[in-house]
Amino acid sequence: MKFILPKKYLLVPLVLGMGACTNFLDVNQTPNNPLSVPPSVLLPAAEAGSAFANSNELNRFTSVIVQHLAGANNGPATYDVYQTNGGDFGNQWRTEIYDGALINYQKVIQIADVTNSKAYTGIAKIMKAYTFALATDVWGDIPYSQALLGEGNLQPRLDKQEDIYKGNTTLGIQSLFDLVREGEKDLDVALAANYSGLKPTNDDLIYGGDLNKWKAAGNTLLLKFAIQISNKEPKLAASVINEVLTGNKYITSNSQDLNQPFGGAVGSQDPVYTWTYVSLFRDDLILSTRYLNLLKGLSDPRLPIFFTKPAADYVTIDNGFRGVLPTPISSWSRYNTYVTGANGVGPVRLATNFQRAFILAEAAIRLGTPGDPQKLYEEGITASMTLAGVTPTQITAYLANPAVGTLTGTNEQKIAQIITQKYIAFTGNSLEVWNDLRRTGYPTQLPAQNAAGIDGTRPVRAVYINEEIQRNPNFPQTPIQSNVPVWWATK
Amino acid sequence: MRRNLLNSLLLSLLFCLPLLAQDVSVSGRVTSSDDSSVLPGVSVQVKGTSRGTTTDANGAYKISVPANARLVFSFIGFSSQELAVGNQSTLNVKLLSGAQNLDEIVITAQGIERDKRSLGYSIQEINGSAISQRSEPNVLNALQGKVAGVSITTASGAPGASTNINIRGITSFTGNNQPLIVVDGIIFSNDVNNTQNTLFGSTPSNRLADINPESIESLNVLKGPAAAVLYGSRASAGAIVITTKSGRNQNNKTEVTLNSSYNVQNVYGLPQYQNSYGQGTLNNYVPNSSNSWGPAFSALSSVTNTQGKVVPYQAYPNNIRDFFTQGTILQNSVNIASGDQNRNYIIAIGNTLQKGIIPNTKFNRTNIQIGGESKLQNGLRVSGTGTYVQTVQQGIPGGNGGSAFGQITAIPRSYNLPGEAYQDTLTGRSIYFNPSAVNPNWSLYNETFNSQVDRFFGNFQLGYDIAKWLNVSYRVTGDTYTDRRKLVQQIGAGRAPTGDVTQDNFFRSEINGDLIINAHKEDVFLKGLNATLLLGNNVNQRKTQEVYLDAATLTIPGFTNVSNGSVFTASSENSTIRRLVGNYGQLSLSYNNYLFLELSGRADQSSTLPKNNGTYFYPGASVSFVPTDAFKVNSNVLSYVKLRGSIAKVGRDADPYLLNSVYVTSGYGNNVANINFPLSVNGNSIPGFGISSRIGSSNLTPEFVQSYEFGANVGLFKNRVNIDATYFNSHSTNQIFNAAISNSTGYDTRTTNLGSLRNKGLELVITGTPVRVGGFKWDVALNYTLIRNLVEFIAPGIKSAGIPGNGFIGSTPSIKEGLPYGVIIGNANSRTQTTDPTAANYDASGQYNGQYLINAITGAFAPTVANSVISNPQARYTAGLTNTFSYKGLALSVLVDTRQGGQLLSFGAAAQRSSGALYATGIDRDQPRILPGVIPVTAADGTVSYKPNNIQIPAQTYWQGIGGLQSEATVFDATVYRVREASLNYTLPKGLLNKTPFGSISVGVSGRNLFFYAPHFIADPELNTQGAGNIQGLDLQGPPNTRNFGVNLRATL
Report whether B357 contacts B267 (CB < 8 A): yes
Rounded to 10 degrees, the C-alpha dihedral B224/B225/B226/B231 comes to 120
Looking at residue B803, its pLDDT comes to 84
A323: closest chain B residue by CA: B282
Looking at residue B988, its pLDDT comes to 86
Cis peptide before A347 (omega within 30 of 0): yes
Closest CA to A128 of A206, A50, A226, A225: A50
Q: From the CA of B22, how many Å to the nearest CA of chain A?
A: 16
Best A60, A99, A322 residue to mutate vs chain B (most B CBs within 10 Å): A99
Flag the least confident range among A417-421, B74-78, B884-888. Answer: B74-78
Q: Using a CB-CB distance cutoff of 8 angstroms, which residues of chain B are in contact with residue A5?
A: 15
Q: Using a CB-CB distance cutoff of 8 angstroms, which residues of chain B are in contact with residue A207?
A: none
Q: Is it the case that residue A11 has pLDDT exceeding 60?
A: no
Q: Which amino acid is present at B462?
A: L
Angle at B1048 between CA B1046 and CA B1052, to 5 degrees: 170
Q: Is it the case that residue B18 has pLDDT exceeding 70?
A: no
Q: Which of B284, B743, B860 sits opposite A468 (nearest CB)?
A: B743
Flag the least confident range among A405-419, B217-231, B663-677. Answer: B217-231
Q: Is B378 on the interface with A (CB under 8 A)?
A: yes
Q: Using a CB-CB distance cutoff of 8 angstroms, which residues of chain B are in contact with residue A99?
A: 693, 743, 746-748
Rounded to 10 degrees, the C-alpha dihedral B742/B746/B749/B752 comes to -100
The 10 Å Cβ neighbour count of residue B511 is 17
pLDDT band at residue B77, thresholds of 50, 70 and 90? low
According to DSSP, residue B336 is labeled: E
Q: Which of B377, B682, B689 sits opposite A42 (nearest CB)?
A: B689
Report whether B459 contacts B185 (CB < 8 A): yes
pLDDT tens digits along A88-105: 999 999 999 999 999 999
CB contact under 8 A, B866 and A86: yes
Q: Is B617 on the interface with A (CB under 8 A)?
A: no
Question: In a 3-state reduction of DSSP, which class is residue B913?
Answer: helix
Continuous segment of H or E residues that includes residue B795: none
Q: Is it the case that residue A12 has pLDDT exceeding 70?
A: no
Q: From the CA of A140, how many Å to the nearest CA of chain B?
A: 14
Continuous segment of H or E residues that includes residue A154: none
pLDDT band at residue A2, thresholds of 50, 70 and 90? very low
According to DSSP, residue B10 is labeled: H
Q: From the CA of A311, how many Å to the nearest CA of chain B?
A: 17
A90: closest chain B residue by CA: B809
| Higher-scoring residue by pLDDT: A5, B780 | B780
CB contact under 8 A, B690 and A45: yes
pLDDT tens digits along B371-391: 999 988 888 999 999 999 999
Give the number of residues written for chain B: 1053
Report the distance separating Cα B557 and Cα B442, nearest Å: 14
Q: From the CA of B374, how many Å to the nearest CA of chain A?
A: 13
The percentage of chain B sitting over the pLDDT mark of 90, rounded to a whole number, equals: 46
Q: How far is CA A307 from CA A384, A399, B692, in A?
A: 15, 21, 39
Report whether B167 contacts B181 (CB < 8 A): no
Report the distance separating Cα A222 and Cα A215, nearest Å: 11
pLDDT band at residue B102, thresholds of 50, 70 and 90? very low
CB contact under 8 A, B539 and A27: no
Tell me what the mean pLDDT of segment B616-640 comes to: 89
Report the distance separating Cα A466 and Cα A481, nearest Å: 13
Best B742, B747, B1037 residue to mutate vs chain A (most A CBs within 10 Å): B742
Looking at residue B14, its pLDDT comes to 39
pLDDT band at residue B857, thresholds of 50, 70 and 90? confident
Q: From the CA of A150, how many Å to the nearest CA of chain B?
A: 5
Report whether B359 contacts B396 (CB < 8 A): no
Report the distance separating Cα B755 and Cα B311, nearest Å: 61
pLDDT tens digits along B762-796: 999 999 988 888 788 899 999 999 999 999 998 87
Looking at residue A85, its pLDDT comes to 86
Distance of CA B429 to the CA centre of its chain: 38
Cis peptide before A443 (omega within 30 of 0): yes
Best B500, B695, B745, B864 residue to mutate vs chain A (most A CBs within 10 Å): B745
R_g over Cα of chain A: 26
pLDDT band at residue B401, thresholds of 50, 70 and 90? low
Looking at residue B609, its pLDDT comes to 93
Report whether B242 contacts B184 (CB < 8 A): yes
pLDDT tens digits along B794-817: 887 778 888 877 666 678 888 899
Report the distance separating Cα A328 and Cα A490, nearest Å: 43
Buried b (16+ CB within 10 A) or exposed e, B456-488: ebbbebbbbbbebbbbbbbbbbbbbbebebbbb
Tell me what the mean pLDDT of segment B750-766 comes to: 92
The 10 Å Cβ neighbour count of residue A162 is 18
pLDDT tens digits along B342-375: 899 999 999 999 999 999 999 999 999 999 999 8
Report the distance separating Cα A250 and Cα A225, nearest Å: 14
Q: Is it the case that residue A8 has pLDDT exceeding 60?
A: no
pLDDT tens digits along A398-412: 999 988 999 999 999
Report the distance separating Cα B317 and Cα B326, nearest Å: 18
Q: How far is CA B875 from CA B434, B757, B872, B951, in A?
A: 39, 17, 8, 37
Angle at B213 between CA B212 and CA B214, to 5 degrees: 90
Closest CA to B1019 of B409, B550, B587, B442: B409
Cβ neighbors of A40 (< 8 A, separation 6 or more) are A198, A200, A203
Q: From the CA of A377, how many Å to the nearest CA of chain B?
A: 33
Flag the least confident range among B188-202, B590-604, B988-1002. Answer: B188-202
For B766, list phi and psi in degrees, rounded to 5. -120, 125
Q: Is it the case that residue A236 has pLDDT exceeding 80?
A: yes
Give me the half-sphere count of Cα atoms (radius 13 Å) on the Cβ side of residue B669.
25
Give the best-scoring range by mean pLDDT among B15-24, B28-37, B822-831: B822-831
Report the distance separating Cα A44 and Cα A263, nearest Å: 13
Report the distance separating Cα B370 and Cα B386, nearest Å: 5
Q: Is B863 on the interface with A (CB under 8 A)?
A: yes
Q: What is the DSSP string of B170-195?
A: --SSSS--SPEEEETTEEE-------
Closest CA to B150 of B731, B786, B706: B786
Best A63, A470, A478, A482 residue to mutate vs chain B (most B CBs within 10 Å): A470
Q: Is it the case that residue A140 has pLDDT exceeding 80?
A: yes
Looking at residue B134, its pLDDT comes to 63
| Higher-scoring residue by pLDDT: A323, A458 | A458
Q: Is it the case that residue B462 has pLDDT exceeding 70?
A: yes
Cβ neighbors of B426 (< 8 A, separation 6 or more) are none
pLDDT band at residue B112, thresholds of 50, 70 and 90? confident
Q: Using a CB-CB distance cutoff of 8 angstroms, which residues of chain B are in contact with residue A20?
A: 1, 4, 581, 605
Question: For residue B451, what are the β-bridge partners?
Answer: B393, B485
**β-pairing verdict for B113-115 and A285-287:** unpaired
Flag the least confident range among A227-236, B633-642, B742-751, B962-971. Answer: B962-971
The 10 Å Cβ neighbour count of residue B22 is 8
Q: Is it the case that residue B1023 has pLDDT exceeding 80?
A: no
Report whether B65 contacts B22 (CB < 8 A): no
Q: How far is CA B96 from CA B33, B34, B38, B81, B408, in A?
A: 5, 7, 13, 9, 60
CB contact under 8 A, A99 and B663: no
Looking at residue A376, its pLDDT comes to 98
Report whether B198 contacts B807 (CB < 8 A): yes
CB contact under 8 A, B668 and A96: yes
As a whole number, the mean pLDDT across chain B is 86
Give me the half-sphere count of Cα atoms (radius 13 Å) on the Cβ side of residue A177.
22
pLDDT tens digits along A13-65: 444 444 445 588 999 999 999 999 999 999 999 999 999 999 999 999 999 99
Report the distance separating Cα B603 and Cα B622, nearest Å: 18
Best B675, B737, B966 residue to mutate vs chain A (most A CBs within 10 Å): B675
B380: closest chain A residue by CA: A3
Report the distance separating Cα B674 and Cα B249, nearest Å: 61
| Higher-scoring residue by pLDDT: B628, B99 | B628
Q: Which of B574, B744, B858 sits opposite A32 (nearest CB)?
A: B574
Report the distance separating Cα B462 and Cα A398, nearest Å: 94
Q: How far is CA B723 from CA B117, B158, B531, B641, in A?
A: 13, 37, 29, 9
Give the number of residues written for chain A: 491
Q: Is it the case that residue B694 has pLDDT exceeding 90?
A: yes
The 10 Å Cβ neighbour count of residue A2 is 6
Q: Using a CB-CB distance cutoff of 8 angstroms, which residues of chain B are in contact with residue A261?
A: 681-682
pLDDT band at residue A3, thresholds of 50, 70 and 90? very low
pLDDT band at residue B3, thresholds of 50, 70 and 90? very low
A18: closest chain B residue by CA: B4
Report the distance separating Cα A92 and Cα A78, nearest Å: 18
Tell me what the mean pLDDT of segment B172-189 comes to: 87
Q: From the CA of A400, how many Å to the nearest CA of chain B?
A: 38
CB contact under 8 A, B577 and A14: no
Question: For residue B704, what are the β-bridge partners?
Answer: B651, B733
Q: Is B635 on the interface with A (CB under 8 A)?
A: no
Flag the least confident range among A16-30, B574-588, B890-904, B979-993. Answer: A16-30
Report whether B238 contacts B228 (CB < 8 A): yes
Looking at residue A346, its pLDDT comes to 92
Report the distance separating Cα B978 and Cα B1021, nearest Å: 11
Report the distance separating Cα B387 and Cα B479, nearest Å: 9
Q: Chain A neighbours among B 78-117 (CB < 8 Å)?
A: none
SS (H, E, C) B311-355: EECCCCCCCCHHHCCCEEEEEEEEEEEEECCCEEEEEEEEEEEEE
pTM over 0.90: no
Q: Chain A neighbours among B 551-570 (CB < 8 Å)?
A: 552-553, 566-567, 569-570
Closest CA to A199 of A110, A284, A120, A85: A120
For A76, list phi and psi in degrees, rounded to 5. -60, -35
R_g over Cα of chain B: 31
Q: Using a CB-CB distance cutoff of 8 angstroms, which residues of chain A are in contact with residue B661?
A: 35, 150
CB contact under 8 A, A17 and B379: no
Looking at residue A456, its pLDDT comes to 85
CB contact under 8 A, A452 and B863: yes
**β-pairing verdict for B721-740 and B800-802:** unpaired
Best A127, A259, A279 residue to mutate vs chain B (most B CBs within 10 Å): A279
The 10 Å Cβ neighbour count of residue B743 is 28
Alpha helices in B553-638 (DSSP H): 627-630
Q: Is it the case that residue B124 has pLDDT exceeding 60?
A: yes
pLDDT band at residue B76, thresholds of 50, 70 and 90? low
B967: closest chain A residue by CA: A87
